Structure 1
Protein backbone atom coordinates (compact mmCIF):
# COMPACT_ATOMS: atom_id res chain seq x y z
CA UNK A 1 0.00 0.00 0.00
CA UNK A 2 1.32 3.42 -0.87
CA UNK A 3 0.95 6.81 0.77
CA UNK A 4 2.95 9.99 0.37
CA UNK A 5 5.73 8.89 2.70
CA UNK A 6 8.28 6.16 2.66
CA UNK A 7 8.09 3.21 5.14
CA UNK A 8 5.84 0.29 6.01
CA UNK A 9 3.92 -0.24 9.23
CA UNK A 10 1.20 -2.70 10.14
CA UNK A 11 -2.17 -1.50 11.40
CA UNK A 12 -3.34 -4.19 13.83
CA UNK A 13 -7.04 -4.94 13.57
CA UNK A 14 -7.78 -8.50 14.70
CA UNK A 15 -7.17 -10.43 17.89
CA UNK A 16 -8.24 -14.06 18.18
CA UNK A 17 -9.55 -15.51 21.43
CA UNK A 18 -7.50 -18.39 22.83
CA UNK A 19 -4.27 -17.35 21.11
CA UNK A 20 -1.49 -15.31 22.64
CA UNK A 21 -1.27 -13.18 19.50
CA UNK A 22 -3.00 -13.02 16.17
CA UNK A 23 -3.00 -10.10 13.75
CA UNK A 24 -4.39 -9.03 10.44
CA UNK A 25 -1.51 -7.19 8.74
CA UNK A 26 -2.00 -4.11 6.58
CA UNK A 27 1.11 -2.45 5.18
CA UNK A 28 0.97 1.36 5.06
CA UNK A 29 3.99 3.50 4.19
CA UNK A 30 5.04 6.21 6.62
CA UNK A 31 8.04 8.48 7.15
CA UNK A 32 11.34 6.60 6.95
CA UNK A 33 13.28 8.79 9.38
CA UNK A 34 11.53 7.77 12.60
CA UNK A 35 9.08 5.03 13.61
CA UNK A 36 5.55 6.20 14.31
CA UNK A 37 3.24 5.32 17.16
CA UNK A 38 0.28 3.45 15.66
CA UNK A 39 -3.01 3.84 17.56
CA UNK A 40 -6.20 1.82 17.03
CA UNK A 41 -8.82 2.80 19.63
CA UNK A 42 -12.57 2.19 20.00
CA UNK A 43 -15.44 3.26 22.24
CA UNK A 44 -18.92 1.80 21.67
CA UNK A 45 -22.26 1.55 23.48
CA UNK A 46 -23.05 -2.19 23.26
CA UNK A 47 -19.94 -4.36 23.58
CA UNK A 48 -17.73 -3.46 26.59
CA UNK A 49 -15.00 -5.94 25.61
CA UNK A 50 -14.82 -4.24 22.21
CA UNK A 51 -13.77 -0.97 23.82
CA UNK A 52 -10.00 -1.25 23.59
CA UNK A 53 -6.82 0.54 22.52
CA UNK A 54 -4.01 -1.11 20.55
CA UNK A 55 -0.60 0.58 20.55
CA UNK A 56 2.25 -0.39 18.25
CA UNK A 57 5.46 1.08 16.89
CA UNK A 58 6.02 1.06 13.14
CA UNK A 59 9.13 -0.68 11.86
CA UNK A 60 11.80 0.30 9.36
CA UNK A 61 11.30 -0.78 5.75
CA UNK A 62 14.45 -2.91 5.89
CA UNK A 63 13.54 -4.67 9.15
CA UNK A 64 13.26 -8.50 8.96
CA UNK A 65 9.46 -8.19 9.04
CA UNK A 66 6.96 -5.36 8.84
CA UNK A 67 4.86 -6.12 11.92
CA UNK A 68 4.45 -3.46 14.58
CA UNK A 69 6.34 -3.79 17.83
CA UNK A 70 3.69 -3.72 20.61
CA UNK A 71 3.97 -0.70 22.89
CA UNK A 72 3.68 -1.92 26.48
CA UNK A 73 3.62 -0.07 29.78
CA UNK A 74 1.86 3.00 28.37
CA UNK A 75 -0.58 5.15 30.31
CA UNK A 76 -3.96 5.02 28.52
CA UNK A 77 -7.18 6.70 29.70
CA UNK A 78 -10.62 7.53 28.31
CA UNK A 79 -12.80 10.29 29.79
CA UNK A 80 -16.44 11.11 29.05
CA UNK A 81 -17.71 14.64 28.54
CA UNK A 82 -19.96 17.02 26.66
CA UNK A 83 -19.46 19.64 23.97
CA UNK A 84 -21.14 22.82 25.23
CA UNK A 85 -21.05 26.05 23.20
CA UNK A 86 -18.08 24.75 21.25
CA UNK A 87 -16.07 23.84 24.37
CA UNK A 88 -15.44 20.38 25.79
CA UNK A 89 -16.35 19.83 29.43
CA UNK A 90 -14.75 16.59 30.63
CA UNK A 91 -16.09 14.71 33.66
CA UNK A 92 -12.99 13.77 35.65
CA UNK A 93 -15.00 11.26 37.71
CA UNK A 94 -15.70 9.23 34.53
CA UNK A 95 -12.02 8.75 33.68
CA UNK A 96 -11.11 5.10 33.06
CA UNK A 97 -7.52 3.84 33.08
CA UNK A 98 -7.11 1.07 30.49
CA UNK A 99 -4.63 -1.69 31.33
CA UNK A 100 -2.93 -4.57 29.60
CA UNK A 101 -4.41 -7.70 31.13
CA UNK A 102 -5.08 -11.39 30.70
CA UNK A 103 -8.85 -11.57 30.20
CA UNK A 104 -11.04 -14.55 31.04
CA UNK A 105 -13.18 -13.67 28.01
CA UNK A 106 -10.09 -14.30 25.85
CA UNK A 107 -9.19 -17.64 27.46
CA UNK A 108 -6.91 -15.75 29.86
CA UNK A 109 -4.70 -14.68 26.97
CA UNK A 110 -2.36 -11.76 27.61
CA UNK A 111 -1.81 -9.71 24.47
CA UNK A 112 0.95 -7.08 24.78
CA UNK A 113 0.10 -3.60 23.57
CA UNK A 114 -3.68 -4.08 23.95
CA UNK A 115 -5.35 -2.01 26.67
CA UNK A 116 -8.80 -2.72 28.21
CA UNK A 117 -11.20 -1.65 30.91
CA UNK A 118 -14.15 -4.04 30.78
CA UNK A 119 -16.31 -1.62 32.82
CA UNK A 120 -16.03 1.02 30.09
CA UNK A 121 -19.19 1.55 28.06
CA UNK A 122 -19.99 4.46 25.76
CA UNK A 123 -23.19 6.53 25.93
CA UNK A 124 -24.77 7.88 22.73
CA UNK A 125 -24.75 11.67 22.64
CA UNK A 126 -21.56 11.93 24.72
CA UNK A 127 -18.01 12.83 23.69
CA UNK A 128 -14.88 10.94 24.67
CA UNK A 129 -11.27 11.98 25.23
CA UNK A 130 -8.46 9.50 24.67
CA UNK A 131 -5.16 10.31 26.40
CA UNK A 132 -1.98 8.30 25.92
CA UNK A 133 1.44 8.75 27.49
CA UNK A 134 4.34 6.78 26.02
CA UNK A 135 7.95 7.35 27.04
CA UNK A 136 7.14 10.83 28.32
CA UNK A 137 5.29 11.88 25.17
CA UNK A 138 1.58 12.76 25.15
CA UNK A 139 -1.02 11.87 22.53
CA UNK A 140 -4.74 12.59 22.47
CA UNK A 141 -7.92 12.35 20.40
CA UNK A 142 -11.63 13.00 20.76
CA UNK A 143 -14.62 11.22 19.30
CA UNK A 144 -18.41 11.45 19.60
CA UNK A 145 -20.93 8.65 19.98
CA UNK A 146 -23.84 9.52 17.73
CA UNK A 147 -27.31 8.11 18.29
CA UNK A 148 -27.67 4.46 17.19
CA UNK A 149 -29.69 3.83 14.05
CA UNK A 150 -32.66 1.52 14.23
CA UNK A 151 -32.44 -1.51 11.94
CA UNK A 152 -35.85 -2.00 10.37
CA UNK A 153 -35.03 -5.43 8.95
CA UNK A 154 -32.34 -7.57 7.33
CA UNK A 155 -33.37 -9.66 4.33
CA UNK A 156 -31.55 -12.27 2.27
CA UNK A 157 -31.63 -12.76 -1.48
CA UNK A 158 -29.55 -12.26 -4.65
CA UNK A 159 -28.57 -15.96 -4.50
CA UNK A 160 -25.52 -17.33 -6.27
CA UNK A 161 -23.28 -20.40 -6.45
CA UNK A 162 -19.87 -20.08 -4.83
CA UNK A 163 -17.57 -22.29 -6.90
CA UNK A 164 -14.19 -21.38 -5.38
CA UNK A 165 -14.05 -24.57 -3.27
CA UNK A 166 -16.99 -26.93 -3.13
CA UNK A 167 -19.94 -25.46 -5.06
CA UNK A 168 -22.20 -23.89 -2.47
CA UNK A 169 -25.47 -21.99 -2.69
CA UNK A 170 -25.13 -18.63 -0.95
CA UNK A 171 -27.12 -15.45 -0.37
CA UNK A 172 -26.43 -11.76 0.02
CA UNK A 173 -27.85 -9.69 2.87
CA UNK A 174 -29.65 -6.36 2.61
CA UNK A 175 -30.01 -4.10 5.65
CA UNK A 176 -32.97 -1.69 5.71
CA UNK A 177 -32.82 1.46 7.84
CA UNK A 178 -33.60 5.17 7.74
CA UNK A 179 -30.72 7.59 7.47
CA UNK A 180 -30.95 10.25 10.23
CA UNK A 181 -32.12 13.70 9.18
CA UNK A 182 -28.84 15.34 10.15
CA UNK A 183 -25.71 16.09 8.12
CA UNK A 184 -22.35 14.54 8.92
CA UNK A 185 -23.12 10.98 10.00
CA UNK A 186 -22.02 7.91 8.08
CA UNK A 187 -22.30 4.18 8.64
CA UNK A 188 -19.99 1.18 8.86
CA UNK A 189 -21.22 -2.43 8.69
CA UNK A 190 -19.92 -5.43 10.66
CA UNK A 191 -21.15 -8.98 11.21
CA UNK A 192 -20.28 -12.21 12.99
CA UNK A 193 -20.98 -15.53 11.23
CA UNK A 194 -20.06 -19.17 11.65
CA UNK A 195 -16.79 -18.47 9.79
CA UNK A 196 -15.66 -15.79 12.25
CA UNK A 197 -16.53 -18.09 15.17
CA UNK A 198 -15.01 -16.90 18.43
CA UNK A 199 -12.54 -14.53 16.78
CA UNK A 200 -12.18 -11.31 18.76
CA UNK A 201 -11.86 -7.68 17.70
CA UNK A 202 -13.54 -5.38 15.21
CA UNK A 203 -11.00 -6.36 12.56
CA UNK A 204 -11.86 -10.04 13.00
CA UNK A 205 -15.51 -9.51 12.01
CA UNK A 206 -16.88 -9.58 8.51
CA UNK A 207 -17.27 -6.04 7.21
CA UNK A 208 -18.17 -3.65 4.46
CA UNK A 209 -16.82 -0.58 6.15
CA UNK A 210 -17.45 1.92 3.41
CA UNK A 211 -20.35 2.92 1.18
CA UNK A 212 -19.65 4.91 -2.03
CA UNK A 213 -21.97 7.75 -1.16
CA UNK A 214 -22.09 10.93 0.90
CA UNK A 215 -24.55 11.79 3.62
CA UNK A 216 -25.51 14.99 1.81
CA UNK A 217 -26.98 12.95 -1.05
CA UNK A 218 -29.03 10.52 1.05
CA UNK A 219 -29.75 12.59 4.15
CA UNK A 220 -33.00 11.50 5.80
CA UNK A 221 -33.78 8.87 3.17
CA UNK A 222 -34.74 5.23 3.69
CA UNK A 223 -31.70 3.06 2.93
CA UNK A 224 -31.38 -0.44 1.45
CA UNK A 225 -27.73 -1.55 1.57
CA UNK A 226 -26.99 -4.90 -0.11
CA UNK A 227 -23.59 -6.37 0.71
CA UNK A 228 -21.63 -8.15 -2.00
CA UNK A 229 -20.37 -10.75 0.51
CA UNK A 230 -21.82 -14.25 0.37
CA UNK A 231 -23.54 -15.80 3.41
CA UNK A 232 -24.22 -19.51 3.96
CA UNK A 233 -27.86 -20.52 3.81
CA UNK A 234 -29.02 -21.41 7.33
CA UNK A 235 -26.22 -19.50 9.06
CA UNK A 236 -27.13 -17.13 11.90
CA UNK A 237 -25.58 -13.69 11.40
CA UNK A 238 -25.11 -11.20 14.23
CA UNK A 239 -25.21 -7.92 12.32
CA UNK A 240 -23.87 -4.61 13.68
CA UNK A 241 -25.00 -1.34 12.07
CA UNK A 242 -22.46 1.25 13.26
CA UNK A 243 -23.20 4.98 13.09
CA UNK A 244 -20.03 7.12 13.09
CA UNK A 245 -19.10 10.76 12.77
CA UNK A 246 -17.54 11.92 9.51
CA UNK A 247 -13.91 12.10 10.70
CA UNK A 248 -14.00 8.44 11.76
CA UNK A 249 -15.50 7.50 8.40
CA UNK A 250 -12.84 9.60 6.64
CA UNK A 251 -10.02 7.75 8.38
CA UNK A 252 -11.33 4.29 7.50
CA UNK A 253 -12.16 5.45 3.99
CA UNK A 254 -8.60 6.74 3.49
CA UNK A 255 -7.32 3.50 5.02
CA UNK A 256 -9.29 1.45 2.48
CA UNK A 257 -7.98 3.57 -0.39
CA UNK A 258 -4.42 3.14 0.91
CA UNK A 259 -4.91 -0.63 1.12
CA UNK A 260 -5.96 -0.64 -2.53
CA UNK A 261 -2.91 1.40 -3.62
CA UNK A 262 -0.48 -1.50 -3.75
CA UNK A 263 0.73 -0.70 -7.27
CA UNK A 264 3.88 1.48 -7.50
CA UNK A 265 2.02 3.41 -10.21
CA UNK A 266 -1.04 4.09 -8.06
CA UNK A 267 -1.99 7.49 -6.69
CA UNK A 268 -0.55 8.18 -3.20
CA UNK A 269 -3.09 8.34 -0.36
CA UNK A 270 -2.85 10.21 2.95
CA UNK A 271 -4.32 8.49 6.00
CA UNK A 272 -6.62 10.98 7.70
CA UNK A 273 -5.44 10.33 11.24
CA UNK A 274 -7.49 11.63 14.20
CA UNK A 275 -4.69 11.32 16.80
CA UNK A 276 -2.79 14.43 17.94
CA UNK A 277 0.89 14.22 18.89
CA UNK A 278 4.37 13.81 17.47
CA UNK A 279 5.05 10.96 15.00
CA UNK A 280 1.69 9.24 15.48
CA UNK A 281 -1.00 7.90 13.18
CA UNK A 282 -4.30 6.15 13.77
CA UNK A 283 -7.90 6.71 14.81
CA UNK A 284 -10.06 6.93 17.93
CA UNK A 285 -13.35 5.49 16.61
CA UNK A 286 -16.64 6.24 18.31
CA UNK A 287 -18.93 3.37 17.27
CA UNK A 288 -22.64 3.82 17.97
CA UNK A 289 -23.82 0.24 17.53
CA UNK A 290 -27.20 -1.37 16.91
CA UNK A 291 -27.20 -5.18 16.60
CA UNK A 292 -29.73 -7.51 15.01
CA UNK A 293 -29.51 -11.26 14.47
CA UNK A 294 -30.88 -12.92 11.34
CA UNK A 295 -30.99 -16.45 9.93
CA UNK A 296 -29.94 -16.50 6.28
CA UNK A 297 -32.75 -18.02 4.18
Structure 2
Protein backbone atom coordinates (compact mmCIF):
# COMPACT_ATOMS: atom_id res chain seq x y z
CA UNK A 1 0.00 0.00 0.00
CA UNK A 2 1.35 3.41 -0.88
CA UNK A 3 0.63 6.85 0.52
CA UNK A 4 -0.93 9.71 -1.36
CA UNK A 5 1.61 12.38 -2.23
CA UNK A 6 0.11 14.70 0.40
CA UNK A 7 -0.16 12.34 3.38
CA UNK A 8 1.42 15.19 5.33
CA UNK A 9 -1.37 17.68 6.27
CA UNK A 10 -3.30 18.97 3.31
CA UNK A 11 -4.07 22.35 4.86
CA UNK A 12 -2.17 25.52 4.14
CA UNK A 13 -2.09 28.70 6.20
CA UNK A 14 -3.13 31.46 3.86
CA UNK A 15 -1.70 34.96 4.25
CA UNK A 16 -4.15 37.21 2.46
CA UNK A 17 -3.57 40.80 1.40
CA UNK A 18 -6.28 42.87 -0.29
CA UNK A 19 -4.95 46.00 -2.03
CA UNK A 20 -7.11 48.18 -4.28
CA UNK A 21 -5.56 51.14 -6.06
CA UNK A 22 -6.40 53.15 -9.13
CA UNK A 23 -4.02 56.10 -8.98
CA UNK A 24 -0.99 55.32 -6.82
CA UNK A 25 1.76 52.73 -6.58
CA UNK A 26 2.30 51.07 -3.19
CA UNK A 27 5.29 49.24 -1.77
CA UNK A 28 3.94 46.04 -0.23
CA UNK A 29 5.88 44.53 2.64
CA UNK A 30 4.82 40.98 3.53
CA UNK A 31 5.79 40.11 7.09
CA UNK A 32 6.67 36.60 8.18
CA UNK A 33 3.54 34.75 9.19
CA UNK A 34 3.22 33.14 12.60
CA UNK A 35 3.72 29.38 12.11
CA UNK A 36 0.58 27.46 12.92
CA UNK A 37 -0.07 23.91 14.01
CA UNK A 38 -2.04 22.18 11.26
CA UNK A 39 -4.39 19.42 12.44
CA UNK A 40 -6.08 16.81 10.25
CA UNK A 41 -7.94 14.33 12.47
CA UNK A 42 -10.65 11.71 11.90
CA UNK A 43 -12.84 9.33 13.85
CA UNK A 44 -15.26 7.06 11.95
CA UNK A 45 -17.45 4.01 12.56
CA UNK A 46 -16.36 1.68 9.72
CA UNK A 47 -12.63 1.82 8.92
CA UNK A 48 -10.27 1.54 11.94
CA UNK A 49 -7.17 2.29 9.84
CA UNK A 50 -8.79 5.57 8.79
CA UNK A 51 -8.99 6.85 12.36
CA UNK A 52 -5.83 8.92 12.57
CA UNK A 53 -4.37 12.36 13.35
CA UNK A 54 -1.83 14.19 11.19
CA UNK A 55 0.10 17.10 12.70
CA UNK A 56 2.13 19.61 10.72
CA UNK A 57 3.63 23.04 11.16
CA UNK A 58 3.06 25.73 8.55
CA UNK A 59 6.20 27.24 7.04
CA UNK A 60 7.29 30.82 6.56
CA UNK A 61 5.44 32.72 3.80
CA UNK A 62 8.69 33.07 1.84
CA UNK A 63 9.68 29.40 2.05
CA UNK A 64 9.83 27.94 -1.48
CA UNK A 65 7.86 24.75 -0.60
CA UNK A 66 4.17 24.52 0.21
CA UNK A 67 4.22 21.32 2.25
CA UNK A 68 3.90 21.59 6.01
CA UNK A 69 6.63 20.27 8.29
CA UNK A 70 5.57 17.14 10.23
CA UNK A 71 5.21 17.61 13.99
CA UNK A 72 6.68 14.63 15.82
CA UNK A 73 6.71 13.57 19.46
CA UNK A 74 3.32 15.07 20.34
CA UNK A 75 0.96 13.59 22.92
CA UNK A 76 -2.34 12.82 21.16
CA UNK A 77 -5.41 11.23 22.77
CA UNK A 78 -9.04 10.61 21.81
CA UNK A 79 -11.74 10.02 24.45
CA UNK A 80 -15.32 8.85 23.91
CA UNK A 81 -18.20 10.57 25.67
CA UNK A 82 -21.87 11.45 25.79
CA UNK A 83 -23.63 14.78 25.29
CA UNK A 84 -25.89 15.40 28.30
CA UNK A 85 -29.24 17.18 28.37
CA UNK A 86 -27.63 20.36 29.74
CA UNK A 87 -25.23 20.44 26.72
CA UNK A 88 -22.25 19.38 28.82
CA UNK A 89 -20.20 16.28 28.09
CA UNK A 90 -19.59 13.20 30.20
CA UNK A 91 -16.25 11.72 29.12
CA UNK A 92 -15.46 8.06 29.71
CA UNK A 93 -11.90 8.10 31.04
CA UNK A 94 -11.59 4.34 30.51
CA UNK A 95 -12.11 4.83 26.77
CA UNK A 96 -9.17 7.22 26.31
CA UNK A 97 -6.79 6.03 23.59
CA UNK A 98 -3.33 7.46 23.02
CA UNK A 99 -2.36 7.71 19.36
CA UNK A 100 1.31 7.42 18.45
CA UNK A 101 3.60 7.54 15.47
CA UNK A 102 4.03 3.89 14.67
CA UNK A 103 5.44 1.33 12.26
CA UNK A 104 2.35 -0.52 11.05
CA UNK A 105 2.43 -3.69 8.92
CA UNK A 106 -0.25 -2.11 6.73
CA UNK A 107 2.42 0.37 5.57
CA UNK A 108 5.33 -2.03 5.34
CA UNK A 109 6.47 -1.11 8.86
CA UNK A 110 7.59 2.31 7.63
CA UNK A 111 7.41 5.10 10.20
CA UNK A 112 5.27 8.03 9.05
CA UNK A 113 6.48 11.16 10.86
CA UNK A 114 3.66 13.35 12.16
CA UNK A 115 0.98 10.67 11.58
CA UNK A 116 -0.59 9.29 14.77
CA UNK A 117 -2.50 5.98 15.01
CA UNK A 118 -3.90 3.71 17.67
CA UNK A 119 -0.98 1.26 17.79
CA UNK A 120 -3.41 -1.62 18.48
CA UNK A 121 -3.77 -1.65 14.69
CA UNK A 122 -0.43 -3.48 14.56
CA UNK A 123 -1.50 -6.36 16.79
CA UNK A 124 -5.30 -6.55 17.03
CA UNK A 125 -7.12 -4.37 14.52
CA UNK A 126 -10.52 -5.58 15.78
CA UNK A 127 -9.89 -3.82 19.11
CA UNK A 128 -8.43 -0.62 17.66
CA UNK A 129 -10.03 2.79 18.02
CA UNK A 130 -13.45 2.91 16.36
CA UNK A 131 -16.20 5.50 16.43
CA UNK A 132 -19.68 4.64 17.68
CA UNK A 133 -22.70 6.37 16.09
CA UNK A 134 -24.37 8.67 18.59
CA UNK A 135 -21.20 9.27 20.63
CA UNK A 136 -19.00 12.36 20.92
CA UNK A 137 -15.21 12.38 20.89
CA UNK A 138 -12.62 14.64 22.52
CA UNK A 139 -9.30 15.17 20.76
CA UNK A 140 -6.44 16.44 22.96
CA UNK A 141 -3.04 17.42 21.58
CA UNK A 142 0.00 18.55 23.56
CA UNK A 143 3.05 19.73 21.66
CA UNK A 144 5.60 22.48 22.09
CA UNK A 145 4.27 23.26 25.58
CA UNK A 146 0.80 24.07 24.23
CA UNK A 147 -2.52 22.24 24.47
CA UNK A 148 -5.11 22.04 21.70
CA UNK A 149 -8.55 20.42 21.83
CA UNK A 150 -11.55 19.66 19.66
CA UNK A 151 -14.88 17.85 20.03
CA UNK A 152 -16.73 16.09 17.24
CA UNK A 153 -19.69 13.73 16.96
CA UNK A 154 -20.15 10.51 15.01
CA UNK A 155 -23.74 10.90 13.88
CA UNK A 156 -26.15 8.13 12.97
CA UNK A 157 -25.30 6.83 9.49
CA UNK A 158 -27.62 7.38 6.54
CA UNK A 159 -28.63 4.27 4.62
CA UNK A 160 -27.60 4.02 0.96
CA UNK A 161 -30.56 2.37 -0.77
CA UNK A 162 -28.68 1.73 -4.01
CA UNK A 163 -26.00 2.88 -6.44
CA UNK A 164 -26.55 3.02 -10.19
CA UNK A 165 -24.36 3.98 -13.14
CA UNK A 166 -25.30 5.62 -16.42
CA UNK A 167 -25.14 8.92 -18.33
CA UNK A 168 -22.33 7.55 -20.50
CA UNK A 169 -19.93 9.93 -22.24
CA UNK A 170 -16.63 9.95 -24.11
CA UNK A 171 -13.82 11.35 -21.97
CA UNK A 172 -11.78 13.44 -24.37
CA UNK A 173 -9.36 14.58 -21.66
CA UNK A 174 -7.72 11.17 -21.55
CA UNK A 175 -4.70 10.35 -23.74
CA UNK A 176 -6.87 7.76 -25.41
CA UNK A 177 -10.57 8.52 -25.47
CA UNK A 178 -12.69 6.05 -23.57
CA UNK A 179 -16.30 5.68 -22.54
CA UNK A 180 -17.09 6.48 -18.95
CA UNK A 181 -20.24 6.57 -16.85
CA UNK A 182 -21.47 8.70 -13.99
CA UNK A 183 -22.51 7.29 -10.64
CA UNK A 184 -25.81 8.06 -8.85
CA UNK A 185 -26.47 7.42 -5.16
CA UNK A 186 -30.07 6.93 -3.99
CA UNK A 187 -31.01 7.62 -0.36
CA UNK A 188 -33.70 9.16 1.86
CA UNK A 189 -32.80 12.41 3.59
CA UNK A 190 -33.92 12.38 7.25
CA UNK A 191 -36.87 14.59 8.15
CA UNK A 192 -34.70 16.91 10.24
CA UNK A 193 -33.10 20.08 8.89
CA UNK A 194 -29.34 20.46 8.91
CA UNK A 195 -28.13 17.09 7.61
CA UNK A 196 -24.85 17.33 5.69
CA UNK A 197 -22.90 14.73 3.74
CA UNK A 198 -19.52 14.24 2.14
CA UNK A 199 -18.89 11.60 -0.54
CA UNK A 200 -15.82 9.44 -1.16
CA UNK A 201 -15.02 6.45 -3.37
CA UNK A 202 -12.23 3.98 -3.96
CA UNK A 203 -11.57 2.81 -7.52
CA UNK A 204 -8.80 0.97 -9.33
CA UNK A 205 -6.79 4.21 -9.56
CA UNK A 206 -7.07 4.99 -5.82
CA UNK A 207 -7.05 1.43 -4.48
CA UNK A 208 -3.40 1.44 -3.34
CA UNK A 209 -3.45 4.89 -1.75
CA UNK A 210 -4.05 5.60 1.92
CA UNK A 211 -6.11 8.24 3.69
CA UNK A 212 -9.36 10.10 3.23
CA UNK A 213 -7.57 12.68 1.10
CA UNK A 214 -6.36 9.94 -1.25
CA UNK A 215 -9.85 8.68 -2.06
CA UNK A 216 -11.83 9.98 -4.98
CA UNK A 217 -14.29 12.68 -4.00
CA UNK A 218 -16.59 15.29 -5.43
CA UNK A 219 -14.73 17.91 -3.40
CA UNK A 220 -16.60 20.90 -4.73
CA UNK A 221 -20.16 19.66 -4.26
CA UNK A 222 -20.66 18.51 -0.67
CA UNK A 223 -24.34 18.28 0.10
CA UNK A 224 -26.68 19.92 2.62
CA UNK A 225 -30.42 19.43 2.95
CA UNK A 226 -31.39 23.09 3.33
CA UNK A 227 -33.67 22.90 0.27
CA UNK A 228 -34.43 19.16 0.12
CA UNK A 229 -35.12 18.25 3.74
CA UNK A 230 -36.88 14.91 4.07
CA UNK A 231 -36.94 14.20 0.34
CA UNK A 232 -35.81 11.08 -1.47
CA UNK A 233 -32.48 11.90 -3.12
CA UNK A 234 -30.97 10.81 -6.45
CA UNK A 235 -27.51 12.45 -6.45
CA UNK A 236 -25.45 12.04 -9.63
CA UNK A 237 -21.75 12.86 -9.39
CA UNK A 238 -20.09 14.71 -12.24
CA UNK A 239 -16.98 12.50 -12.09
CA UNK A 240 -16.51 9.87 -14.77
CA UNK A 241 -15.94 6.21 -13.86
CA UNK A 242 -14.29 3.67 -16.17
CA UNK A 243 -16.61 0.91 -17.38
CA UNK A 244 -16.26 -2.40 -15.51
CA UNK A 245 -14.38 -0.73 -12.66
CA UNK A 246 -15.38 -1.78 -9.15
CA UNK A 247 -16.20 1.24 -6.93
CA UNK A 248 -16.34 1.14 -3.14
CA UNK A 249 -18.56 4.09 -2.26
CA UNK A 250 -18.62 5.88 1.11
CA UNK A 251 -21.43 8.30 2.02
CA UNK A 252 -20.35 10.23 5.12
CA UNK A 253 -22.84 11.94 7.42
CA UNK A 254 -21.17 14.84 9.28
CA UNK A 255 -21.94 17.68 11.66
CA UNK A 256 -22.51 21.07 10.08
CA UNK A 257 -19.28 22.46 11.58
CA UNK A 258 -17.29 19.65 9.91
CA UNK A 259 -19.09 20.33 6.62
CA UNK A 260 -18.36 24.07 7.01
CA UNK A 261 -14.64 23.41 7.43
CA UNK A 262 -14.38 21.21 4.35
CA UNK A 263 -16.52 23.61 2.36
CA UNK A 264 -14.21 26.51 3.31
CA UNK A 265 -11.16 24.35 2.59
CA UNK A 266 -12.45 23.48 -0.88
CA UNK A 267 -12.95 27.18 -1.61
CA UNK A 268 -9.50 28.06 -0.25
CA UNK A 269 -7.75 25.41 -2.34
CA UNK A 270 -9.20 27.07 -5.45
CA UNK A 271 -7.81 30.41 -4.34
CA UNK A 272 -5.54 32.01 -6.93
CA UNK A 273 -2.99 33.41 -4.49
CA UNK A 274 -2.48 36.07 -1.82
CA UNK A 275 -4.02 38.88 -3.91
CA UNK A 276 -7.30 37.09 -4.61
CA UNK A 277 -10.47 37.16 -2.50
CA UNK A 278 -9.63 36.01 1.06
CA UNK A 279 -11.11 32.73 2.27
CA UNK A 280 -11.24 31.98 6.00
CA UNK A 281 -10.94 28.35 7.00
CA UNK A 282 -13.66 27.37 9.46
CA UNK A 283 -11.34 25.65 11.94
CA UNK A 284 -12.78 23.39 14.65
CA UNK A 285 -9.58 23.18 16.75
CA UNK A 286 -9.21 25.27 19.93
CA UNK A 287 -5.87 26.62 21.09
CA UNK A 288 -3.19 29.13 20.18
CA UNK A 289 -1.86 29.34 16.60
CA UNK A 290 -3.69 26.25 15.37
CA UNK A 291 -5.98 25.49 12.45
CA UNK A 292 -7.65 22.38 11.09
CA UNK A 293 -10.51 20.00 11.76
CA UNK A 294 -11.41 17.00 13.87
CA UNK A 295 -13.87 15.23 11.56
CA UNK A 296 -16.41 12.78 12.92
CA UNK A 297 -17.39 10.62 9.94
CA UNK A 298 -20.50 8.43 10.10
CA UNK A 299 -19.89 6.13 7.13
CA UNK A 300 -22.27 4.07 5.02
CA UNK A 301 -20.75 1.89 2.30
CA UNK A 302 -21.83 0.13 -0.86
CA UNK A 303 -20.03 -1.38 -3.86
CA UNK A 304 -20.94 -1.17 -7.55
CA UNK A 305 -19.50 -2.43 -10.84
CA UNK A 306 -19.72 0.38 -13.39
CA UNK A 307 -21.72 -0.66 -16.49
TM-score clears 0.5: yes
Q: How does 1:156-167 map to 2 (within 5 A)?
A: 156-164=165-173, 165-167=175-177
Q: Distance in 1 between matches of 2:159 and 2:11?
A: 32
- The 3 A distance-change label for structure 1 pair 30 and 95 is farther
CA contact (8 A) 2:197 2:222 kept: no
Quote the offset at 1:220 in angstroms: 1.2
- The structure-2 alpha-carbon separation of the partners of 1:52 and 1:219, relative to structure 1 and needing over 3 Å to count, comes to same
In the alignment, the residues of structure 2 paired with residue 90 and residue 212 of structure 1 have an alpha-carbon distance, to the nearest angstrom, of 31
Contact 1:60 1:66 in 2 (8 A): no
Give distance in 2, aligned partners of 1:212 and 1:286: 15
Match of 2:235 among 225, 232, 235: 225
Q: Which residue of 2 aligns with 1:75?
A: 75
Q: Which residue of 1 aligns with 2:125?
A: none
CA distance in 2, matches of 1:213, 1:79: 29
- Of residues 123, 129, 153, the one that matches 1:144 is 153
Which has the larger Rg?
Answer: 2
Match of residue 134 from structure 1? 143
Q: Which residue of 1 aligns with 2:301?
A: 291
- 1:62 Cα deviation from its structure 2 partner: 1.2
1:64 partnered with 2:64: yes
Residue pairs, 1:99-138, within 5 angstroms: 99-117=100-118, 118=121, 119-138=128-147
Question: CA 1:55 to 1:26, structure 2 compared with 1: closer, same or farther past 3 Å?
Answer: closer
In structure 2, what is the equivalent of residue 181 of structure 1? 191
Task: Give per-residue Cα distances to partners, 1:237-289, cap 9 Å, x unaligned.
Answer: 00000000100000000001111221555321100000000000000000000
Distance in structure 2 (CA, Å) of the matches to 1:212 and 1:278: 29
TM-score, structure 2 normalization = 0.87
Cα shift at 1:30: 4.1
**What residue ranges of structure 1 are gaps of 5+ in the alignment?**
1-16
Name the SS of the counterpart of 2:226 in structure 1. helix
Q: 1:179 to 1:82 in 2, by over 3 A?
A: same
Alignment size in residue pairs: 280
CA drift at 1:33: 3.3
1:193: which partner in 2? 203
Q: Which moved more, 1:243-252 or 1:202-211?
A: 202-211
**Is 2:14 the partner of 1:29?**
yes
Query: Superposition RMSD on alpha carbons, in Å?
Result: 1.7
CA distance in 2 between counterparts of 1:197 and 1:144 reads 28
State the partner residue of 1:43.
43
More strand, by proportion: 1
Quick one: distance in 2 between partners of 1:180 and 1:107? 42
In structure 2, the residue matched to 1:10 is none
Find the aligned partners of 1:202 and 1:75 in 2 and give their Cα distance. 23
Structure 1 CA distance, aligned partners of 2:44 and 2:156?
11
In structure 2, C-alpha distance between the alignment counterparts of 1:51 and 1:109, rounded to whole Å: 18
Q: What is the rounded CA distance, in whole Å, between the counterparts of 1:188 and 1:280 in structure 2?
A: 24
Alignment of 1:193-212 (within 5 A): 193-211=203-221
Q: State the Cα deviation string for residues 72-116 of structure 1 (Å, max 9, x = none).
A: 000000000000021101000000000000110112121100000
Distance in 1 between the 2:270 and 2:2 partners? 31
Q: Which runs of 5+ in 2 are unaligned?
A: 17-31, 122-127
Aligned to 1:95: 96
